[in-house]
Structure 1
Amino acid sequence: MGDGAARLAAIHAARSQAVIEGIESIDPDFVLHLASSTLGVVLDHFITGPGARPGRTVFAMPREEEGVAVTSGLELAGRRPVMVFQDNGVGNLLTVLLTFPQPYHVPLYGVVARRGGLGEYNSMIHTVSERVEAILDAAGVRWFQLDARTPVESWAPEIKRAWTYSRTTHRPVFTLVNLMGG
């Protein structure tokens, strides 16, 4: 592995660990996810690692919009769910997000992995990923960004603060995390 690739791998590992710590600080009893190579370290922690523990249910969402519906139901039942998926799925969940949890003030929280940018190998990803902030803004959905501008040691506390903000405001909130180096 070259110096550049090793540096990016180290960044990915440190940021993934910070996301794990942030989600663990929330202590969710449900973690809903969609498979993603970018989120592999995070998902492995909750699916087969130390995050897979008694009292916590971890399962794959068939699609993002179905995840929003299930997460909303869990919220209404007084549970502590967290969604974990990548940003190119934001377009899929808009209708259900804007017709159920947003207007009915259901606190819903998701950690959303960023894609696109320099080094992205999938040309399809750029179409949606580069516009996620604008899409969420246009939909009136609150989001926070964690990337190279935020020291990695601040990521876990910021994830917890964003989750708390979703409860305080009684609305959906997403934290966009760039695990890939930007």
Structure 2
Amino acid sequence: MDPSISVFNGMRMTGIDLVVSVPCINLKDILPMIDSDPSMIHVPVTREEEGVGICAGAYMGGKIPAMLMQNSGLGNSINALASLNKLFHIPLLLIMSHRGVEGETICAQVPMGQLTTSLLDALDIPYVVPTIDNVEETILHAWAIASEKGRPVAVLLEIGFWEAE
């Protein structure tokens, strides 16, 4: 199975129709799929907090948003997630490439990699860690939690997830 296709299929199953993205090498193969799908709008952004705001507005306008990002950008988006999504109960699916965990080859990724789950816990943002075998269903389940609870939910795609390529 191709991990990028599986993530994309999970997004389609969920009904995601607006995707905001911040560049990430692990997520790069998903972007052309989004761009070629007429049911999805793709909005590339330069900073994660900008993406949080765009997704919140899109949700209020009737869209089902997701943000593709690297976990290192979680630090950039903390204020927006807490003061916008959490405060106003706005769901958001955060699909994150989880860098800096076991198998990471770039030492600069490690500090944020080690802090990611603690930051999500501190923000009271639930997270799931799918495998290639269950990623489609996991993305669907994550959005169900986000929409039911009115909150962001993170899908953490760890380094091992991409080894199926």
**Is TM-score (shorter-chain normalized) higher than 0.5?**
yes
Large movers: runs of 4+ above 4 Å: none
The whole-number CA distance in structure 2 between the counterparts of 1:53 and 1:14 is 18
SS in 2 for 1:141: coil
* Residues 74-153 of structure 1 mapped to structure 2, 5 A cutoff: 74-146=58-130, 150=131, 152-153=132-133
| RMSD of aligned Cα (Å) | 1.8
Structure 2 match to 1:174: 154
1:37 and 2:25 aligned: yes
The whole-number CA distance in structure 1 between the counterparts of 2:95 and 2:110 is 19
1:19 and 2:7 aligned: yes
Structure with greater helix percent = 2
Q: Quickly say closer, same or farther: Cα 1:17–1:55, change in 2 above 3 A.
A: closer
Larger mean CA deviation between 137-146 and 96-105 belongs to 137-146
Q: Which has the larger radius of gyration?
A: 1
Structure 1 gap ranges (5+): 1-12
**What is the TM-score with the length of structure 1 in the denominator?**
0.82
Structure 2 gap ranges (5+): none
What is the one-letter code of the residue matched to 1:43? L
| Match for residue 55 of structure 2 among 71, 86, 93 | 71
The whole-number CA distance in structure 1 between the counterparts of 2:64 and 2:3 is 23
Quote how far apart the aligned CAs of 1:125 are.
Answer: 1.0
The whole-number CA distance in structure 1 between the counterparts of 2:102 and 2:150 is 35
Quote how far apart the aligned CAs of 1:118 are.
Answer: 4.0
